[in-house]
């Protein structure tokens, strides 16, 4: 009987913890910071892109700062650049959700690991992107936030991982920080908006937490 009670207690914790995480995340996602930031402010535009789970920050190439664009590979007709951040093992070994394994998910969420910046080049704007008007000052801060996410080599250059992209138009670079259930790919994007003075969630691990502020 004691064994059964212990098993039930463990199962109870296993259910309660993710439920509590989800509820807290939903609550904090609804809290808006930088409320005074207007959707109509600014003459520049950046975008939010999602694959249904993972957010990217998309910036027109012409709006990239000189320091951020340095060492990044572009083709002449690339017009937009999408930036994402996440766990290195997860990025490289889970190219599609069909490749997701419990081991990779657990390592990303709970074990300290290295991270990557994922850069995707686009020749044209996608209709699914969510537009975010932004002024020059906030755009500069957003550029700086992304720049600080890159790890740099001894000479101050960005560190690209060759031959690791999913397609012909994307690349991976070594990044600062470690992914966890608190610091996710989406909370990274949300932090970039918060630090730039744009409307954002107090904290969110989900893509819809930030998208709901702009859609």
Q: Is there a domain that residue 46 lies in? A: yes
Taking CA atoms, 81 is separated from 23, 111, 161, 202, in Å, by 33, 30, 18, 26
Q: Six-digit token pair at 164?
A: 């690791």
Name the burial class of residue 151, with classes exposed (0-12), middle (13-18) and buried (19+) by CB atoms within 10 angstroms of its CB: middle
Considering the domain boundaries, does residue 178 fall inside one?
yes
- The model's pTM is 0.86
126 assigned to some structural domain: yes
Size of the chain, expressed as the number of residues it contains: 215
| Sheet of strand 55-60: strand arrangement | 130-134, 44-50, 55-60, 80-87, 115-122, 170-175, 160-161
Inside any domain, residue 89: yes
Query: pLDDT digit string (tens) for 23-42?
Result: 888 999 999 999 876 555 66
pLDDT (0 to 100) of residue 208:
94
| Residue 15 forms part of a structural domain | no
* Structural domain contains residue 1: no
Residue 111 pLDDT:
54
Tens digits of per-residue pLDDT, 2-15? 655 555 444 554 56
For the chain, what is the domain count?
1
Can you give the residue range of the structural domain that contains 52?
Answer: 31-211
Q: What is the reported pLDDT for 197?
A: 96
Mean pLDDT of 38-67: 89
- Is 83 a domain residue? yes
Distance CA 150, CA 209 (A): 24
How confident is the model over 133-187, as pLDDT tens digits?
999 999 999 999 999 999 999 999 999 999 888 999 999 999 999 998 889 999 9
19 within a domain of the structure (yes/no) = no
The closest alpha carbon to 189, from 164, 214, 172, 211, belongs to 211
pLDDT value of residue 108: 47
| Residue 178 burial class via C-beta count within 10 angstroms: exposed 0-12, middle 13-18, buried 19 and up | middle
């Amino acid at each position: 009987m004691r064994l059964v009670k212990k098993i039930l207690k463990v199962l109870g914790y296993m259910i309660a913890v993710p439920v509590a995480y989800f509820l807290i995340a939903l609550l904090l996602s609804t809290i808006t910071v930088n409320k005074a930031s207007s959707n109509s402010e600014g003459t520049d535009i950046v975008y939010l892109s999602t694959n249904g789970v993972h957010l990217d920050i998309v910036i027109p190439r012409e709006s990239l700062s000189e320091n951020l664009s340095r060492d990044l590979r572009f083709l002449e007709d690339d017009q937009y650049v999408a930036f994402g951040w996440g766990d290195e093992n997860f990025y490289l070994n889970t190219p599609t959700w069909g490749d997701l394994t419990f081991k990779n998910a657990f390592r990303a969420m709970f074990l300290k690991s290295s991270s990557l910046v994922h850069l995707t080049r686009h020749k044209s704007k996608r209709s699914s992107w969510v537009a975010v008007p932004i002024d020059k000052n906030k755009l500069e801060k957003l550029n700086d936030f992304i720049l600080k996410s890159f790890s740099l080599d001894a000479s101050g250059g960005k560190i690209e991982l060759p031959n690791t992209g999913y397609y012909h138009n994307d690349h991976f670079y070594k990044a600062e920080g470690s992914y966890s259930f608190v610091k996710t790919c989406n909370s990274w994007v949300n932090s970039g908006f918060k630090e730039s003075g744009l409307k954002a969630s107090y904290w969110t691990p989900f893509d819809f937490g930030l998208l709901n502020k702009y859609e």
